[in-house]
Structure 1
Amino acid sequence: MSQSRTASIQAPDVQAQLPALEVSLSRVGVTGVEKVIRIKQDGAEQLFSARLECYVDLGPRQKGAHMSRFEEVVNDAIGEVILGEATFRAETLARHVAERVRERQGARRAEVTIEARYPEHKPAPVSGIQTQEIYTLFGSAVASEQGTRRLVGVAAAGMTACPCAQQLVQGSSRERLLADGFSEDEIERIFDHVPVATHNQRGLGTLHIGLPEHSDEDVPAQTLLDIVENSMSSEIYELMKRTDEGSVVEKAHRRPRFVEDCVREMVRGVVDRFAHLGDDTFFSAHQKNLETIHQHNVDAERFGLLGEVRRELETGEHSPTHVSRRAWLDGAESFA
């Protein structure tokens, strides 16, 4: 066959063919897409290492999605995102990508998730020495005929001190002090001035806020970070002087918290600091503590709509439903 004849033969569009089984698929897409994003923050441009996931639904008569279009849309959207914003908005980029992916793929629904690692500089608690802390920022968006739902989240590490072990140590210390002739009043004064020992965990807190299609509210990532870090016994710092180390340890032991306490404190922070958000706003608070005296780790989580937890706080009754992240993203009618 001649070269010209070969060139004139067009390869069939396999993706345009009918599938062997005409059944729709919930999600089809690409994962592990890594990009370096340049964003202007606090007047200076910074680089962020980001990982993206992009999905669309697939109709029963469509054999496959056009995978190359995902990469094209991601590159186009990154170039179109405005760099002049004061703070990084992962959910802004996710919204741009989701809306363009849905259009390019001809899908009813598109979902995009972005995970970005970025630095923050903060002073150590006593010396004031500047230390660089690395945080994780999450941004998700689901684009459909109803509009685009946005989800913004953060993850931060901290330190917790175990209340149970502390109570046990305090009880045995009290017995020894009484046996040595100290009065009850003297013992109470000692415990007021000297934090009691306990075992510690390094904790990882994650907090997400989800905004429905009709919302144009803004959720600052820094506010979420403040809530997460304040929910634990103490913040942690990569670089500290000895005075800083003493301050962190003492602070943690003066406010011991279980993994469950950390989640409840995150819920408190969301309710107090986002009182302006509607009842149909989604939230998810998760805490993982890496144990030091056990082989296992411990987890706690609360998720649902703000309206659910507000009613629970007002009435004191357990909420019968906790809307999950998947259900909220899917936009079930009963949650709209």
Structure 2
Amino acid sequence: MDNTQTFPKKKLPNKEQRHKLFGSVMPVPRTKPVDKVHMADLQNTKKDFLFDLDAVGITKVKHPITIYSSLTPAKQTTIGEFTFTSSLKQSNKGTNMSRFTEQLANYHANGFAMDLHTLKSFAKELAERLDQQDASLKVSFPWFYERHAPDTRLAGMNHANATISINYDRQLGYQLAVSLAASITTLCPCSKEISEYSAHNQRGNVKIEVSLSEDYDESLSDWKAILLEAAESNASARLHPILKRTDEKMVTEQAYENPRFVEDVVRLVAADLYELPFITKFKVSCRNEESIHMHDAIATVSYDKENETY
């Protein structure tokens, strides 16, 4: 039996009437200037506004970017999430927000590559456009790299999350900082030691944050690949997008041969970073997603090589 209901055809008001029904009103008479030269510019008001501001700008700006890498693929397009800021003098009411995105659009038109040289130029030009003492930018993006299985050599794509921070000051110059967050495998040394057989393992999430020397030359070494190697080479094993049975045997045996506490991981990574001359300061953190506990295990180490005494 067909229970489909039928309804009489509706007669709808026209679109203008529908908009009016839902609150649209007629435009009011226009009295304010339409030419830019006659418009009020509140941001450029000069008075005593009580305090200097550390930073003012825009954040969560998503935009396509181009990345170059020493690992395959050598060139890739991804999405960057930007923050742009500058300081603001006590005498200035505000900053011109449109100049941040206007400059972003200009750089994109010429191919916005995520290399440190380009980003340094961006920050310096931004400070000049804003007529401020300084300007900063921060961009985070997923970075993809090819990974081969250890035995079959089948290839797939892994990814890590990278961040670049550039601060330009007309008197102090540049401050460069980068970070990389990557995932690893860790196998519990305690579990291996006390159990008759097997040992539990977990996914480790390593984040490496470093300050770079101003003379660091990105054309000679890829910081992304270097930080990734520091994280992965000190793990129990690396993660792989594709593993067949012979690969899985190799990876699990490697993890068993290289047990790591979360404390071990951050110390070993720190040792690698300490030996890199272009890194002036670093912070390493690791969070292990425990497989036999409801909690996670965490560890952090920070070190400033510029404050060392000899």
Please give the TM-score of this superposition, normalised by the length of structure 2: 0.79
Q: Which residue is 1:282 aligned to? A: 281
User: Once the 2 structures are TM-superposed, how far is the Cα of residue 107 of structure 1 from its aligned partner?
Assistant: 1.9
Q: Which residue is 1:237 aligned to? A: 240
Structure with a larger share of its residues in helix:
1
User: Once the 2 structures are TM-superposed, how far is the Cα of residue 92 of structure 1 from its aligned partner?
Assistant: 3.7
- Aligned to 1:63, the other structure's residue is in SS state coil
User: Once the 2 structures are TM-superposed, how far is the Cα of residue 31 of structure 1 from its aligned partner?
Assistant: 0.9
Q: Which residue is 1:15 aligned to? A: 43
Task: For 1:29 and 1:6, locate their aligned partners in 2 and report how far apart those are by CA, in whole Å.
Answer: 27
- Matched residue type, 1:51: E
Checking the alignment, whether the CA contact within 8 Å between 1:77 and 1:96 is kept in structure 2 is no
Q: Which residue is 1:209 aligned to? A: 210
Q: Which residue is 2:199 aligned to? A: 198
Say whether 1:109 aligns with 2:134.
yes
Checking the alignment, whether the CA contact within 8 Å between 2:48 and 2:90 is kept in structure 1 is no
- Matched residue type, 1:265: L
Say whether 1:61 aligns with 2:91.
yes
User: Once the 2 structures are TM-superposed, how far is the Cα of residue 240 of structure 1 from its aligned partner?
Assistant: 0.9
Task: For 2:104 and 2:94, locate their aligned partners in 1 and report how far apart those are by CA, in whole Å.
Answer: 19
Structure 2: segments with no counterpart, 5+ residues? 1-27
Map 1:158-307 → 2, pairs under 5 A: 158-169=184-195, 173=196, 196-213=197-214, 215-218=215-218, 219-220=221-222, 221-272=224-275, 274=276, 276-277=277-278, 281-307=280-306
Checking the alignment, whether the CA contact within 8 Å between 1:162 and 1:256 is kept in structure 2 is yes
Checking the alignment, whether the CA contact within 8 Å between 2:49 and 2:93 is kept in structure 1 is no
Checking the alignment, whether the CA contact within 8 Å between 2:44 and 2:95 is kept in structure 1 is no
Taking structure 1 as reference, are residues 168 and 105 closer, same or farther at Cα in structure 2, changes over 3 Å only?
same
2:78 to 48, 56, 61: 48
Taking structure 1 as reference, are residues 47 and 262 closer, same or farther at Cα in structure 2, changes over 3 Å only?
same
**Structure with max Cα Rg:** 2
- Aligned to 1:234, the other structure's residue is in SS state coil
**Per-residue deviation, residues 246-279 of structure 1 (Å, max 9, x unmatched):** 211111121111111111111111123x1x337x
Task: For 1:249 and 1:230, locate their aligned partners in 2 and report how far apart those are by CA, in whole Å.
Answer: 15
- Aligned to 1:125, the other structure's residue is in SS state coil
**Per-residue deviation, residues 190-212 of structure 1 (Å, max 9, x unmatched):** xxxxxx52211101112233124
Q: Which residue is 1:122 aligned to? A: 147
**Per-residue deviation, residues 32-83 of structure 1 (Å, max 9, x unmatched):** 1111113455796421221111111111121112111111122223445686
User: Once the 2 structures are TM-superposed, how far is the Cα of residue 95 of structure 1 from its aligned partner?
Assistant: 2.0
User: Once the 2 structures are TM-superposed, how far is the Cα of residue 115 of structure 1 from its aligned partner?
Assistant: 0.9
- Matched residue type, 2:292: I
Task: For 1:58 and 1:37, locate their aligned partners in 2 and report how far apart those are by CA, in whole Å.
Answer: 28
- Aligned to 2:233, the other structure's residue is in SS state helix
Task: For 2:225 and 2:233, locate their aligned partners in 1 and report how far apart those are by CA, in whole Å.
Answer: 12
Checking the alignment, whether the CA contact within 8 Å between 2:137 and 2:165 is kept in structure 1 is yes
CA RMSD of aligned residues (A): 2.8
Taking structure 1 as reference, are residues 139 and 129 closer, same or farther at Cα in structure 2, changes over 3 Å only?
same
- Aligned to 1:120, the other structure's residue is in SS state strand
2:165 to 122, 126, 140: 140
Task: For 2:228 and 2:136, locate their aligned partners in 1 and report how far apart those are by CA, in whole Å.
Answer: 24
Map 1:57-96 → 2, pairs under 5 A: 57-80=87-110, 89=115, 91-96=116-121
User: Once the 2 structures are TM-superposed, how far is the Cα of residue 228 of structure 1 from its aligned partner?
Assistant: 0.9
- Aligned to 1:231, the other structure's residue is in SS state coil
Checking the alignment, whether the CA contact within 8 Å between 1:94 and 1:114 is kept in structure 2 is no
Checking the alignment, whether the CA contact within 8 Å between 1:95 and 1:140 is kept in structure 2 is no
- Matched residue type, 1:95: K
Taking structure 1 as reference, are residues 78 and 99 closer, same or farther at Cα in structure 2, changes over 3 Å only?
farther
Map 1:29-44 → 2, pairs under 5 A: 29-39=57-67
% identical aligned pairs: 25
Structure 1: segments with no counterpart, 5+ residues? 174-195, 315-336
Tell me the matched-pair count. 276
Please give the TM-score of this superposition, normalised by the length of structure 1: 0.74
- Aligned to 2:203, the other structure's residue is in SS state strand
- Matched residue type, 1:208: E
Checking the alignment, whether the CA contact within 8 Å between 1:205 and 1:287 is kept in structure 2 is yes
- Aligned to 2:38, the other structure's residue is in SS state coil
Taking structure 1 as reference, are residues 301 and 4 closer, same or farther at Cα in structure 2, changes over 3 Å only?
closer
**Per-residue deviation, residues 162-198 of structure 1 (Å, max 9, x unmatched):** 11222221xxx3xxxxxxxxxxxxxxxxxxxxxx522
- Aligned to 2:92, the other structure's residue is in SS state coil
